[in-house]
Amino acid sequence: MTYSLMAKDLGGTETMSLAMLQAIDVRGLFDLKKWNRMKDSLMLCPGIGLEIGCLHLKSTGLKVAFMEDWAHIVHAAHCPLTHDNHLGVAATPKAVQKEWCTDKRQHGLPLDYIKDSIHACGCLLKEKIIYCDVAAMPISSRTANCPTSSIETTTSQVEQQLTRIMIKHHTRLVLVRSSKRHRAYKWLQEYICHRGGSIDRRGADKRRQRKSKRCGCLFRLVVQHCHDGDRVTITIHGNHTGHIPSSRADLYHLPVHSTVVAYCMDDLFDVGMCRHVAKMSISKERFHMANASELDRVIYRFFMIPKEVQMLL
Ligand SMILES: [Zn+2]
Ligand SMILES: [Zn+2]
């Protein structure tokens, strides 16, 4: 919306007035000064097959992406048609940067967004990544929880099923174990609730310790790929323990959604006060949630606390 108006303004077909700006800017993010500052840093280039053309940064010549196009741009860079494999955490942003601006201060596509998209893709999970050591969890808690439900599916459906489970159980799942050729299975993955497990702090610097988000939650999920054919079994073990998923208190342990970070960066640039920006972010929480996917609403937080805003500086 604002993107096409900016293009029209730069193209000279329309000039932004304060009234127009207020009418479209439901979030109250812009004023004319900011609009004009943005306008000064941008130029309009004719886009192929586009009615309005494409915005470029004068300084670097890189394109500024329309927010609604972020997902599509990242996907194209992450899963190039010329490759069999998806690009990694380092290569994907580089591929995006060939064409697109990724500087948040210059209205670019946030790098956090790219990182989150890669993680959401699930391709990384096929490699061995260990976030925390499940073996360190007490044996009793691991054997005490018996399977509560089990789903039969196929390889291509695993990602969709995991998404469905995360939404249904209000949980952000973390991969803790992935092993190829696990006895009877082609491969096996184990996920736990993001608040599961505990952190071993022996020998750690006591002064730098923060309160851990891990509360030993027992919600656990195992994905088993059978040797014969395409069959995959997803088994859910245990229940959430020690915390209430989707409660307000639980929200503070979720990562902040990248669009919220981008908006807070913008607000911070304008307002300059962390406390105020954090407050503004809470008032926009519903708006950002409404625009997010069903999964994102479960696995992200849509506001920032002052301390987090301060870290953007
Ligand atoms: Zn991928
Ligand atoms: Zn849990």
Q: Tell me how far the alpha carbon of residue 163 lies from the centroid of ligand 1, in angstroms.
A: 15
Q: Tell me how far the alpha carbon of residue 161 lies from the centroid of ligand 1, in angstroms.
A: 16
ipTM of the prediction: 0.56
- Least-confidence region, from 118-122, 155-159, 162-166: 118-122
Q: Of the ligands numbered here, which is closest to the C-alpha atom of 240? A: 2
Residues with CB under 5 A from ligand 1 (ion): 86, 121, 123
Q: Tell me how far the alpha carbon of residue 263 lies from the centroid of ligand 2, in angstroms.
A: 29
Q: Residue 134's pLDDT band (boundaries 50, 70, 90)?
A: very low
pLDDT tens track for 162-193? 999 999 989 999 888 887 766 677 888 899 99
Q: Of the ligands numbered here, which is closest to the C-alpha atom of 236? A: 2
CB 224 within 8 A of CB 275: no
Report the C-alpha gap between 117 and 229 in whole angstroms: 30
Q: Residue 124's pLDDT band (boundaries 50, 70, 90)?
A: low
Alpha helices of 42-132 — where are they, by DSSP H? 70-78, 91-97, 111-121
pLDDT tens track for 220-276? 999 988 877 788 999 998 888 888 888 888 899 999 999 999 999 989 988 888 999
Q: Tell me how far the alpha carbon of residue 296 lies from the centroid of ligand 1, in angstroms.
A: 17
Per-residue confidence (pLDDT) for residue 70, from 0 to 100: 83
Torsion sign, CA atoms 264, 305, 96, 118: negative
* CA distances for 63 relative to 50, 77, 245, angstroms: 14, 14, 40
